[in-house]
Structure 1
Amino acid sequence: MAKGRVTVCVSPSAPEDPESLRRAIGGAMAPYDYDRADIPHPDWVGEWDYWAVSGAGCEFAVLPGHEDDPRLVRHDEWNEPPEELPRSRCHGGPRGLLDLDTDRAAVGREAARRGDDWQRFEARHTGPQSALRAISRDPELEERFTRDPYNSFGRDREAYIAERVADVLPTTALLTLDGRWVEYGGPGYRQWFTAYLLDLPADTMVVRVLYRS
Structure 2
Amino acid sequence: MAKQRVTVCVPPCDPDDPESLHRAIGQAMAPYDYNREDIPHPDWVGEWDYWFVSGAGYAFAVLPGHEDDPRLVRHDEWTERPEELPRSRCHGGPRGLLDLDTDRAEVGREAARRWDDWRRFADRHTGPESVLQAIAKDPELEERFTHDPYNWFGRDREAYIAERVADVLPTPAMLTLAGRWVEYGGPGYRQWFNAYLQDLPADTMVVRVLYHS
TM-score where L is the length of structure 1: 0.97
Shift >2 Å, 4+ stretches: 75-80
Structure 2 SS opposite 1:6: strand
Deviation at 1:78, TM superposition (A): 3.5
1:116-127 → structure 2 map (5 Å cutoff): 116-127=116-127
Cα deviation for residue 120 of structure 1 reads: 0.5
Aligned AA for 2:33?
D
Q: CA deviation at 1:128?
A: 4.2
Question: 1:13 corresponds to which residue?
Answer: 13
Instruction: Give the CA deviation at 1:146.
Output: 1.2
1:112-159 CA-partner distances (Å, limit 9, x unpaired)? 000000000000011341111001111111111111111211111111
Matched, 1:129 2:129: yes
User: Which has the larger share of helix?
Assistant: 2
Q: Quick check: 1:84 aligned with 2:88?
A: no
Residues 1-213 of structure 1 mapped to structure 2, 5 A cutoff: 1-76=1-76, 77-80=78-81, 82-213=82-213
Give the root-mean-square deviation of aligned CA atoms.
1.0
For residues 98 and 20 of structure 1, the distance between their equivalents in structure 2, rounded to whole angstroms, comes to 20
Of 24-33 and 184-193, deviating more is 184-193
Distance 1:128 1:96, change over 3 A: closer
Identity %: 84
Post-superposition CA distance 1:145-182 (Å, at most 9, x none): 11111121111111110110010000010000010000
SS of 2:58's equivalent in the other structure is coil
Counterparts of 1:71 and 1:210, CA distance in 2: 20
Per-residue deviation at 1:14?
A: 1.4
Structure-2-length-normalised TM-score: 0.97
Unaligned runs of 5+ in 1: none
Q: Which amino acid aligns with 2:169?
A: L
Q: What letter is aligned with 2:29?
A: M
